[in-house]
Amino acid sequence: MATDRPMQLGMIGLGRMGANLVRRLMRDGHRCVVYDVDADAIRQLEAEGATGATSLQDFAAKLDPPRAAWLMLPTAIVDATLTQLVPLLAPGDTIIDGGNSYYRDDITRAKQLATQGIHYVDCGTSGGVWGLERGYCLMIGGQVEAVNHLDPIFKTIAPGKGDVEPTPSRTRTDGTAPEGYLHCGPNGAGHFVKMVHNGVEYGMMAAIAEGLSVIKHADAGKQTRTVDAETTPLRDPEAYQYDIDVGEVAEVWRRGSVVGSWLVDLTADAFARSPELDDFTGRVSDSGEGRWTVLAALDEGVPASVITTALYERFESRQLGEFTDRILSAMRSEFGGHAEKKP
């Protein structure tokens, strides 16, 4: 089931995401020129059929004009890479940023590149380590012509209709959303939607994790609580006598429930690996998109209480509220003579 319109694409950044994008493209008949600072990563993909480049110069030289160069890089090094790459390109070429850039940077970059006749496309890419097989959900921003030109690439990378049931009430027959990729609007719109996607992801993850934690602690009545003025007594210990298998709960929610979701699927898988999740200490990173989503909500004046709360929960998991908490303890000591309880 190869693509009926094979193209050539250059990929810069051959980490897990970049390498798998190349593989998915080649499987479908596209040709790829690949570059990374890690020569091993290049060699590996050469062995699988890609054309390796030894430098950005070589990379640019091996691409047929009009070039299409996809960047799959950590946000922090995109601009430095562009500085080196752009002088090697020509009017009519297109740069695609497939990483997690802040959408405002897209707006700035697109404007600058336009002065040199170079197209810029921002493409939020969701799918994680499973994308090679499942396909990647693509949220795309840029000018119509540039985006349309790359359609065969997007179509291959995206999941396609697959075995997901069509939306019953959908009557419109145009549009690529049902195939898992969407041109969201002008530059920045792709990363804007991807940014919010990640914000939603934070909220959904937190809802699932909190719920399972409440279920895990349904045995609270079996624990002994200290009896002192610093500890809230549990009034109804007999109502918290359950030992519920949290992993099995995640598993059962996978079928027929309202909360059925890929995140619940993954949660069930994680518990199947490790019923107590002993490998994790619970320090949860956040990598920008959540904060930027909240920022957009603030600018727009839209309450995003749940997404924000999920973000702060991650902050708390990393003890970032520690100074706040010390102030609280200090106040309690001042007005009530309360000493802190030891763990």
**Which residues from 177-236 bind its own copies, rule CB under 8 A?**
177-182, 184-186, 188-189, 192-193, 196-218, 220, 227-236
Question: Among residues 58 and 286, whose Cβ is nearest to its own copies?
Answer: 286
Closest approach, Cβ 40 to its own copies, in A, equals: 18
Give the one residue of 54, 116, 170, 222 binding its own copies; rule: CB under 8 A: 170
Burial class (CB in 10 A: 0-12, 13-18, 19+), 305: exposed
Closest approach, Cβ 99 to its own copies, in A, equals: 9
As a whole number of Å, the end-to-end CA separation of the chain is 60
Active-site residues, by number, are 194, 201
Question: Among residues 91 and 128, whose Cβ is nearest to its own copies?
Answer: 128
Q: β-strands 119-126, 31-35: how paired? A: unpaired
Q: Is 3 in the site for its own copies (CB under 8 A)?
A: no
C-alpha to C-alpha distance for 21 and 13, rounded to whole angstroms? 10
Q: Which two tokens stand for residue 310?
A: 């999920």
CA dist 292 → 30, 125, 199, 261, 301 (Å): 34, 17, 8, 24, 14
Query: Using the 8-state DSSP alphabet, how is residue 97 labeled?
Result: E
Write the interaction track for its own copies spanning residues 50-89; mark x where CB under 8 A is met and - where it is not. ------------------------xxx-------------
CA dist 194 → 59, 86, 130, 336 (Å): 28, 25, 17, 48
Give the one residue of 10, 18, 131, 142 binding its own copies; rule: CB under 8 A: 131
Question: Among residues 114 and 129, whose Cβ is nearest to its own copies?
Answer: 129
Closest approach, Cβ 18 to its own copies, in A, equals: 12
Give the one residue of 126, 132, 143, 151 binding its own copies; rule: CB under 8 A: 126
Q: Is 251 in the site for its own copies (CB under 8 A)?
A: yes
Closest approach, Cβ 51 to its own copies, in A, equals: 27
Mark the segment that binds its own copies (CB under 8 A) among 26-34, 36-44, 81-89, 246-254.
246-254
The alpha carbon torsion through 56, 62, 67, 69 (nearest 10 deg) reads -40
- Given a contact cutoff of 8 angstroms between Cβ atoms, the answer to whether 53 and 42 are in contact is yes
Q: Is 265 in the site for its own copies (CB under 8 A)?
A: yes
Closest approach, Cβ 19 to its own copies, in A, equals: 12
Count of Cβ atoms closer than 10 Å to residue 304 Cβ? 20
